[in-house]
Structure 1
Amino acid sequence: MLLTTKFLRPTADPRSVQRDRLSTLLQPEGAKRLNLVVAPAGFGKTTLVSQWCSQSPSTVAWLSLDEHDDEPRRFWQYVVGAFEHNGLVGLEQCRQQLSHCSLQELEGPITGLINVLAADGAPWSLVLDDYHFIRDPQLQRQVSYFMDYLPPGILVTLASRTEPALPLSRWRVRRWVEDIHPGLLAFSEDECQRFFHDTMGLELSEQEIRRICSKTEGWVAAMQLSALSGGNIDDQKSGAGHQRVDLDERRISDYVLTEVLEQQPAPVRDFLLDTACCPRLCASLCDAVRGTTNSQVLLEQLLRENLFLIPLDTHNEWFRYHDLFRDALLQRARQFKPEDIDRQWQRAVHWLLVHGHVQEGISQIVQHKDWSWLAKVLAEHGNNLIHGGFHLPVLSWLDSLPTNTLQDSPQLLMLRVWALFFANRVDVLEPLLGELEDMLDKQVADSHPDAEGALGLQSEISLIRSYLARSKSDDKSASDLTQQVLRDIDHTRIPLKSVTYYGVGLDYYGKGNLAAAEDALTSAVRYGELERKPSTVLSSGGLLAWIQYNRGDIDEALDTCTRVRQWVDQHHSDPRQPMLISCWQNSALIEIYRERNEPQLAASYLAPLLDHVNNGTEPGQHVVIQYVRGHLAFSEGRYQEAIEALEDAASVARRRREHIVFEPPACSAMLARCYLATGHMDLAKEWIQQVSNDRFTNPLNREQNQISIARVQVALGHPADAMATLAPLRLSAEQDQHYRHLVEIQLVYSEALFAEGKTKEAEQVLAQAVQRASEAGFMRLLAEESPTIRQLCRALPVLKAPGRWNSRVTAMLSELEEAEVPETNPEEALTDTQQASGNTVLPEPLSQRELEVLDLINQGLANKDIANTMGVAPTTVKAHIRNLYGKLAVGSRTEALAKARELRLLA
């Protein structure tokens, strides 16, 4: 049960200062998606947002967060509850999914919430107050996903004591963010006067207000520091009848350096100056910089005394100084301790590098333009950064080095090769590899002392060349190079095993040796975890899951995806960076959830991949993404969308074959199924004539192609030819453990037997297919077959036995039968001459049922009422509406009615 008081917007004190200039900034405009109000406690964040909400024309969903909400399921339940509490309808399914799906499946209901908001179409404001309580990395990634895919008209406002760990830099570039920071929250002169008069009940002169505003810049923290240095409020009335705040007349910067800093105890003053070089602070870092062990005590003291120390988390581990305060400290330190500050900065950077804050350390080095140190750090850490998904920053840092530094270092040049490879700029690699080989040959000739390092670089070159060979379909060279790397790998210091075994896995996968590919990819995952290479772990685990799925081990494939994702999230834990996405893993999850008849979850994993397609991605990934996209659309009956995606995939696979390091799925085989499903027998005939001579190196693709050939042969009335096509596949698929294809082969074979009148034999083969599908957890495989096979399946005794899988499959097949357009006599399908004349001009005439639905739509009935009138399920009505939209080539009820009247299908 949700606590509804968390959905109540706080009522602002009527004496509070109305801050119209800030409320205006919070208004929705342009591409903005996020208002970010960040300031320490007491800066008036909640009051400001509450005042703005009371004036906003949008519907506001308010959620006050607390420490218990830092858990993904609970957080999203409350977010959905906030929307429902304020009138958003259609979230029932989303709420049900949140209650039973696993934490790894939360993207499904989150996507559902986004879809409901998009369908609603109304402007909404979601306010998340006290967001600083949210620190779980997984939850931050989910919020990032939610923000990335928000529909237009939705504005999120976060009020937080600390800046959230979200990809704010990326969003700011896109103009999605309005920042309300402490500087903006500072009071103007007018606001300061109203604050002292209306809120505090103090009468101050305009001159005094102006003086206070000038000294403190309207910043409450500065006023607090003034009190620490001896400032006070004089309660005596002045001659003019006004009260006076007794403050120093000097500027804030002078005040900080003299009145505040000099009045601190010596240990505090020294601590401030010694740690000013640190962009962020924690006790261990400060201890390293100062050479002491008491920094935690001093940090807590600064925090208690509000000495410009801003927490960066909610458990007092990381802090930063306010920028103005830090600048003042640095100015004083450079003036009085110039030698110390350089030494302390070097200690700070060294601590960052040693403790895993490599990117932050490198940024400091680049800022100080210490190029020799940058070269050393990149040589040590660059490889892991690249394999952790940071190849573009590494490229940028390498470009900042002096030209001679890069050209004189084989290790840095190899680093550039890897960074370019991961950036998919393979066209420029060959000259760099040649240059690198020449450099290594020269070192050998000159008896360079680092022979072991040279051997490691040679192995890396061989590994890169193996991937380039795969892109050119030179499988033998790729395999030979990879095996050579495996022989040399134990003699090198460079961690290459994970990437090498991933290459071995690709080789075995390309040959159809799935068992060997599984072993190699399992090794790639294991070594990737040891070498801390998140990208390699994710890609290897994703391809491993894809293979496990095709072998019929759906549960094992899902477990692989879950385990790998958890490890990657644990070791790639900076939510400010874009979430690492693997084409293989997300594609495997799309296929898994599609096959388990959970299309919404499948679509949630497709959504982030579509950005890669739209923005340009590696051609092999493009093909795989469009393939699974087309397959999902095919499963849901969206055949035109499926055809468009699959035709695009087939086109890219054909045009960019030399740039793809593996043989992509047989997209044209799925296209043939779309032709059959839409009744385009002419296209199916044309396809079978063109495809019969195709050659595939991957047996999975060859099998997929042959199965589609058999499907077309059955549809054309040649069942004997179909059985001849399938007969050799039955044995090879079972021997090679291609169990998913084996089920499909048995299903099509049984239909061919049935077409030849061999009913008993057909039922036996069908029962074997259903039994194997049950063991593997396949569902949609049965639903995607012809009505004949689906009807035979429902009659099988095995499906009538108790069991969760049996009941789900039976319900799925029943629902499909209800939605099936009945075969009718064309003359019976027409109600009058006008309908006949209008209907017959359509490429595919409307059935009698669809005409009935059209008439009920014309009467203004909703889907639910149409279902009641016709005595069918609402899903059946949706199917009829989808069919008639497709036949009329329209996208809405209004367009359908207009087109129907134009064709004289309605009176």
Structure 2
Amino acid sequence: MLLTTKFLRPTSDSRAVKRDRLSALLEPQSPKRLNLVIAPAGFGKTTLVAQWCSRVSSPTAWLSLDEHDNEPRRFWQYVIGAFEQAGLTDAAELRKQLAHQSDETFTEAITGLINLLAQDGSAWALVLDDFHFIGNPAIHRQFGYFIDYLPPEILITLASRTEPPLPLARWRVRRWIQDIHPGLLAFSEDECRQFFRDTMGLDISDEDVHAIVRKTEGWVAAMQLSALSSTFSGKDAAKSGNQLNLDERYISDYVLSEVLEQQPRDIADFLLETACCPRLCASLCDSIRESDDSQEMLEKLLSQNLFLIPLDTRNEWFRYHDLFRDALLLRISHTEPEKAARLWQGTVEWLLAHGHVQEAIAQIVRQEDWPWLARVLAEHGNNLIHGGYHLPVLDWLEALPQDLVTDHPQLQMLRIWGLFFANRVDALEPLLSALEDLLDRQVADSHPDAEGALGLQSEISLMRSYLARTRSDDKSAADLTRQVLREIDHTRIPLKSVTYYGLGLDYYGKGELTEAEDALQSAVRYGQVEHKPSTVLSSGGLLAWIQYNRGDIDLALETCTDIRQWVDRHYSDPSQPRLISCWQNSTLCEIHRERNHPQLAATHLQPLLEHVERGTEPGQHVIIQYVRGHLAFSEGRLQDAIEALEDASQTGRKRREQIVFEPPASTALLARCYLAAGHPEKARASLDSRADAEFTNPLHLEQSRISEARVLVALNQPERAQEILSALLNPAERNAHNRHLVEILLVYGEALAQQERKDESEQMLTRAVNLASEAGFMRLFAEESPELRNLLLYLPALNAPGSWNASVRKMLVDQRESGQIHPKSSPSSGYSEPDRPALNPEALPEPLSQRELEVLELIHEGHANKEIAFKMKVAPATVKAHIRNLYGKLGVGRRTEALARARDLGLLEG
């Protein structure tokens, strides 16, 4: 039960100042997606947004958040509920579905809401008031995803006391955000006059208004503070204003001096001493001030509203308003420069010691202390890169004077790792050679750090192993990797996770899948120990890809879920783009496509498409285009599928030397697209473009050979298809390649049916259905030929009771009715209509079993329960159970209703 009062927009006070100039900023405008109204309490955020909502004509949903909404399921229930309350079609059904979802990422529900908004087509506005109550990182990640994929006409407005940790920098670059901060909320002279006269009921002269606005620049917080100190009241304000002779550019500095002069000495000192902190907490302030009263001081500042903005709801982290902090820094740097420098250094040291490395580096860069930056990058850069921050590290290295990098082996190695993770491998060879020359010189010259520099040799060997893979030099890659494994315990920098990932790639490329899985599991385990989330994601993603392609769909999904939860729990920064893995997102796309959830599959594909558009490593390009083509093929978008798969195939051929693993068999899937489009000769040609000798991965070879058999069946050459499939059957079964095994059995069954070998065909198809039901495969049935799908619809094994059977039948029937296929009116050759009327698959939610059909026939003949039991040679209780099930499936309560319903469904004649 949702509290409907949370969906009520506050009624505007008729006396409130009308902020037309700010309301205009809130209006929808392409490409804007987000209004961000950030200010401390009492700045009029809610009033402003409510006024704007009252004047817009588009549908608007309002949600007032509170501390109880800081839980993902509840948060999204209320967000969907806000749209439901405002009239969005089908929102109620989506909210009910959310209540039963077990996936804690709620991707399906969020995607469903995005799709509902897209289908509705209206320019919806959603207001989330008091967003500062939402501090759960999971919600921030989910909300960032929601904004990223919103339809362009949807506008979100957040009103908050704190700036939320969302990817705001990226969104601002895309011009998606309209910021309304305290500076914009400042009153104009007219608004100030209206506020005092109409809202407050105070008789204030125009001269007084002018003095107040001039001294405060209309800054509401400053006006409030000054009013508290009686600086601006009545004629005194005017007199005070007339006595001032200030440069207007430094008006905020004057306000600061007014504030400082009115504070007790301890508060004024605290403000100045902590101005060097980009963010404040009690521990940091205590450390640089060498005191133990900072929490008390922070709470005192907060209670007096001294320009202190909370960053959480627990009163632990704060920041000063930027203008206020700048003025404080200016004051202390002029009056006590040595103290200011000491405080700044203490702040950076505390940030580094407490793991806030990026924030510390930002402060160092701001001060242009390049030697310190070089030392920090040498110590922390490796972990930053493996945490997904390779691009910032490259920028910081670029900012350093060249001489600091040229003679520093660790910084040179850091640049090499950064370029590697940025997929700029073409630039690595000369850098590696230069680094090796530098190490040789340092050893020859007995450099003080010569011993430590030698430890970099393992990293160089590891990097060269990856470069060897790009040249398809598998032997060198394997030799170098094993060399690193022998030396790894003697190196200072943890490398086991990256090394085992490389080993996993080697085994995968050679088709040694069991060994690949073992190596990748080690890579995941060491990556978690070494705090390398990007390596954990890549290793776990490739592991899941192998598991899925071997047919372990549940295990693959479990691997993806466990890895994602570990990364989000330990190393997710909601203010940064979400760290993703091509392998993992591709696997998730394939899993949800196979389970017939194409919209959910598309949500995992979408972030990968951005990489394709911007340009990515060729191996990843092939995988993404392959998965993209497969999803389009499943959805019947054949031309889109053909274009993506042709691109994947061409990229795989032209840039094979730059790909460190064997790409998926794009040509095999491309052939299936041509078959579905009615072009078997094109399908054959696409397969002929690759030779079996090119495949080292048995999964890819199997995939290609199965497609070849499909083409032969389509060309009415079932005997040749059978030869291929017979050779594949036992190895696929022996190696537990379950997904391919199902496909082999299906195509084998179709080939036998073409030869009018009905019983053998049915046996093959029954084996395929039974194996697929155990593994949870679904969509692969809908991707087969129309003739094979038609065979399946009449297959007794698929018409047996069970939720999986019913789902697959419904999928096939829906596909037929949607016009995607046009099957023959009767099953293909080798089958004839059964003697009894065939069960209409779409007639019942769950079809009748063979025994239930026998009972139905005997009831139709007029037999009593005991007679039926005698004829069927079963106990009377068993007959009663069959009849009970029969009535339940037919939706009836007695015999006459059952017989009438069965006639309507064509299950009985006459």
TM-score after normalising by structure 1: 0.87
Pairs within 5 Å for 1:631-646 = 631-646=630-645
SS at match of 1:37: strand
Q: 2:776 matched to which residue of 1? A: 777
Q: 2:543 matched to which residue of 1? A: 544
Kindly state the Cα deviation for residue 823 of structure 1 after the two structures are TM-superposed.
5.3
Kindly state the Cα deviation for residue 505 of structure 1 after the two structures are TM-superposed.
0.7
Kindly state the Cα deviation for residue 706 of structure 1 after the two structures are TM-superposed.
0.6
Q: 1:14 matched to which residue of 2? A: 14
Kindly state the Cα deviation for residue 125 of structure 1 after the two structures are TM-superposed.
1.7
Structure 1 pair 824/398, CA: closer, same or farther in 2 (3 Å)?
A: closer
Task: Give CA-to-partner distance per residue, 1:854-873, whole Å, 9 cap, x none.
Answer: xxxxxxxxxxxxxxxxx999
Kindly state the Cα deviation for residue 233 of structure 1 after the two structures are TM-superposed.
4.5
Q: 1:840 matched to which residue of 2? A: none
Stretch of structure 1 that moved more, 516-525 or 93-102: 93-102
CA contact (8 A) 1:53 1:60 kept: yes
Kindly state the Cα deviation for residue 737 of structure 1 after the two structures are TM-superposed.
2.8
Q: 1:831 matched to which residue of 2? A: none
> Distance between the aligned counterparts of 1:302 and 1:582, measured in 2?
44
> Distance between the aligned counterparts of 1:259 and 1:760, measured in 2?
96
Structure 1 pair 571/248, CA: closer, same or farther in 2 (3 Å)?
A: farther
> Distance between the aligned counterparts of 2:521 and 2:824, measured in 1?
54
Matched, 1:76 2:50: no
SS at match of 1:313: coil
Kindly state the Cα deviation for residue 194 of structure 1 after the two structures are TM-superposed.
0.6
CA contact (8 A) 2:211 2:238 kept: no
> Distance between the aligned counterparts of 2:305 and 2:686, measured in 1?
75
Q: 2:653 matched to which residue of 1? A: 654
Q: 2:127 matched to which residue of 1? A: 127
> Distance between the aligned counterparts of 2:355 and 2:565, measured in 1?
19
Kindly state the Cα deviation for residue 230 of structure 1 after the two structures are TM-superposed.
5.4
Structure 1 pair 605/257, CA: closer, same or farther in 2 (3 Å)?
A: closer
CA contact (8 A) 2:605 2:628 kept: yes
Matched, 1:88 2:88: yes
Structure 1 pair 243/641, CA: closer, same or farther in 2 (3 Å)?
A: closer
> Distance between the aligned counterparts of 2:471 and 2:454, measured in 1?
26
> Distance between the aligned counterparts of 1:190 and 1:82, measured in 2?
36
> Distance between the aligned counterparts of 2:448 and 2:269, measured in 1?
47
Q: 2:671 matched to which residue of 1? A: 672
Kindly state the Cα deviation for residue 287 of structure 1 after the two structures are TM-superposed.
1.1
Kindly state the Cα deviation for residue 187 of structure 1 after the two structures are TM-superposed.
0.9
Q: 2:589 matched to which residue of 1? A: 590
CA contact (8 A) 1:277 1:345 kept: yes
Structure 1 pair 203/786, CA: closer, same or farther in 2 (3 Å)?
A: same
Q: 1:743 matched to which residue of 2? A: 742
Q: 1:461 matched to which residue of 2? A: 460
Q: 2:490 matched to which residue of 1? A: 491
> Distance between the aligned counterparts of 1:71 and 1:302, measured in 2?
30
Instruction: State the AA in 2 paired with 1:345.
Output: W
Kindly state the Cα deviation for residue 170 of structure 1 after the two structures are TM-superposed.
1.4
CA contact (8 A) 1:72 1:103 kept: no
Q: 1:423 matched to which residue of 2? A: 422
Instruction: State the AA in 1 paired with 2:176.
Output: W
Task: Give CA-to-partner distance per residue, 1:597-653, whole Å, 9 cap, x none.
Answer: 111211111122111122222211111111111111111222122111111111211
Kindly state the Cα deviation for residue 655 of structure 1 after the two structures are TM-superposed.
1.8
> Distance between the aligned counterparts of 2:329 and 2:63, measured in 1?
41
Kindly state the Cα deviation for residue 781 of structure 1 after the two structures are TM-superposed.
2.0
Kindly state the Cα deviation for residue 808 of structure 1 after the two structures are TM-superposed.
2.2
> Distance between the aligned counterparts of 1:615 and 1:571, measured in 2?
28
Q: 1:141 matched to which residue of 2? A: 141
Matched, 1:337 2:332: no
Structure 1 pair 447/331, CA: closer, same or farther in 2 (3 Å)?
A: closer
Q: 1:266 matched to which residue of 2? A: 265
Stretch of structure 1 that moved more, 429-438 or 65-74: 65-74
> Distance between the aligned counterparts of 1:537 and 1:257, measured in 2?
49
> Distance between the aligned counterparts of 1:550 and 1:525, measured in 2?
19
> Distance between the aligned counterparts of 2:686 and 2:630, measured in 1?
18
CA contact (8 A) 1:818 1:872 kept: no
Instruction: State the AA in 2 paired with 1:709.
Output: E
Q: 1:46 matched to which residue of 2? A: 46
Instruction: State the AA in 1 paired with 2:29.
Output: E
Kindly state the Cα deviation for residue 265 of structure 1 after the two structures are TM-superposed.
2.8
Structure 1 pair 92/616, CA: closer, same or farther in 2 (3 Å)?
A: farther
Stretch of structure 1 that moved more, 89-98 or 549-558: 89-98
CA contact (8 A) 1:12 1:51 kept: yes
Pairs within 5 Å for 1:372-391 = 372-391=371-390
Instruction: State the AA in 1 paired with 2:552.
Output: D
CA contact (8 A) 1:594 1:602 kept: yes
Pairs within 5 Å for 1:447-526 = 447-450=446-449, 452-526=451-525
Q: 1:899 matched to which residue of 2? A: none
> Distance between the aligned counterparts of 2:210 and 2:174, measured in 1?
38
Kindly state the Cα deviation for residue 391 of structure 1 after the two structures are TM-superposed.
0.8
Matched-pair identity in % = 68
Kindly state the Cα deviation for residue 160 of structure 1 after the two structures are TM-superposed.
0.8
Q: 2:443 matched to which residue of 1? A: 444
CA contact (8 A) 1:734 1:742 kept: yes
Instruction: State the AA in 1 paired with 2:284.
Output: L
CA contact (8 A) 1:232 1:245 kept: no
Q: 2:311 matched to which residue of 1? A: 312
Structure 1 pair 823/499, CA: closer, same or farther in 2 (3 Å)?
A: closer
Matched, 1:726 2:725: yes
> Distance between the aligned counterparts of 1:503 and 1:334, measured in 2?
51
Stretch of structure 1 that moved more, 93-102 or 179-188: 93-102
SS at match of 2:694: coil
> Distance between the aligned counterparts of 1:651 and 1:91, measured in 2?
44
Q: 2:578 matched to which residue of 1? A: 579
Instruction: State the AA in 2 paired with 1:107.
Output: T
CA contact (8 A) 1:58 1:123 kept: yes
Stretch of structure 1 that moved more, 222-231 or 627-636: 222-231
CA contact (8 A) 2:212 2:237 kept: no
> Distance between the aligned counterparts of 1:162 and 1:749, measured in 2?
63
Kindly state the Cα deviation for residue 335 of structure 1 after the two structures are TM-superposed.
3.4
CA contact (8 A) 1:32 1:178 kept: yes
Q: 1:56 matched to which residue of 2? A: 56
> Distance between the aligned counterparts of 1:300 and 1:823, measured in 2?
74
Matched, 1:790 2:760: no
> Distance between the aligned counterparts of 2:686 and 2:171, measured in 1?
46
> Distance between the aligned counterparts of 1:144 and 1:544, measured in 2?
27
> Distance between the aligned counterparts of 2:613 and 2:257, measured in 1?
57
SS at match of 1:53: helix
Q: 1:835 matched to which residue of 2? A: none
- Count the aligned residue pairs: 823
Task: Give CA-to-partner distance per residue, 1:839-882, whole Å, 9 cap, x none.
Answer: xxxxxxxxxxxxxxxxxxxxxxxxxxxxxxxx999xxxxxxxxx
Instruction: State the AA in 1 paired with 2:202.
Output: L
Structure 1 pair 692/400, CA: closer, same or farther in 2 (3 Å)?
A: closer
Please tell me the root mean square deviation across aligned C-alpha atoms, in Å.
Answer: 2.4
Kindly state the Cα deviation for residue 319 of structure 1 after the two structures are TM-superposed.
0.8
Task: Give CA-to-partner distance per residue, 1:359-401, whole Å, 9 cap, x none.
Answer: 1100110111111110100001101111111111111110111
> Distance between the aligned counterparts of 1:166 and 1:823, measured in 2?
51
CA contact (8 A) 2:501 2:535 kept: yes
Kindly state the Cα deviation for residue 672 of structure 1 after the two structures are TM-superposed.
0.8
Structure 1, unmatched stretches of 5+, are 826-870, 874-907
Kindly state the Cα deviation for residue 222 of structure 1 after the two structures are TM-superposed.
1.8
Q: 2:625 matched to which residue of 1? A: 626
SS at match of 1:182: coil
Stretch of structure 1 that moved more, 349-358 or 652-661: 652-661
> Distance between the aligned counterparts of 1:750 and 1:412, measured in 2?
61
Instruction: State the AA in 1 paired with 2:120.
Output: D
Kindly state the Cα deviation for residue 314 of structure 1 after the two structures are TM-superposed.
1.8
CA contact (8 A) 1:36 1:157 kept: yes
Instruction: State the AA in 1 paired with 2:725.
Output: L
Pairs within 5 Å for 1:204-223 = 204-223=204-223
CA contact (8 A) 2:503 2:516 kept: yes
Instruction: State the AA in 2 paired with 1:88.
Output: L
> Distance between the aligned counterparts of 2:283 and 2:797, measured in 1?
65
Kindly state the Cα deviation for residue 480 of structure 1 after the two structures are TM-superposed.
1.2
CA contact (8 A) 2:212 2:232 kept: no
Q: 1:684 matched to which residue of 2? A: 683
Q: 2:556 matched to which residue of 1? A: 557
Task: Give CA-to-partner distance per residue, 1:170-205, whole Å, 9 cap, x none.
Answer: 111122211111011111111111111111111111
Q: 1:288 matched to which residue of 2? A: 287
Q: 1:406 matched to which residue of 2? A: 405
TM-score after normalising by structure 2: 0.87
